[in-house]
Amino acid sequence: MNSEERSELFIQQIQNVLLHDWDPLNIRKDAAMQDEYDAYIADILDILEDEHATAAEIADCLQEIEHEFLGLAKNTPRAEKAAAKIWQHFEDFLA
């Protein structure tokens, strides 16, 4: 797999985690809404560009999105679970 394909796969993995593990709007079953969280992928990638990034920073970002952009209460366990999965995909991407 070349680097472009690896990058595409990583983006798809983030998209999948946001839709199936994080999903604060509970839209995973609505086919018309499958791209609802795609705009937040860039925020996660921005965090991962920092060589000192952590899964906790991703979780904080997801909670901030829940609260500031979606108007929901922050859900720490949900955000931490999704961040851990994204972090694992990131480690696999780097390997």
The position carrying tokens 């991962």 is: 48
User: Which CATH code of 1.10.1070, 2.40.160, 1.10.340, 2.60.40 fits the domain covering 3-94?
Assistant: 1.10.340
All structural domains of the chain with their residue ranges: 3-94
Describe the crossing of helices 41-48 and 55-64 by its angle, rounded to 10 degrees.
150
CA distance 42 to 49: 10
Query: Alpha-carbon torsion 75, 19, 17, 15, what sign?
Result: negative
The position carrying tokens 């705009």 is: 39
Predicted structure pTM score: 0.95
- In this structure, how many other beta carbons lie within 10 angstroms of the beta carbon of residue 6? 13
**pLDDT for res 1:** 83
Q: What is the pLDDT along the chain (95 residues), one digit of tens a residue?
A: 899 999 999 999 999 999 999 999 999 999 899 999 999 999 999 999 999 999 999 999 999 999 999 999 999 999 999 999 999 999 999 99
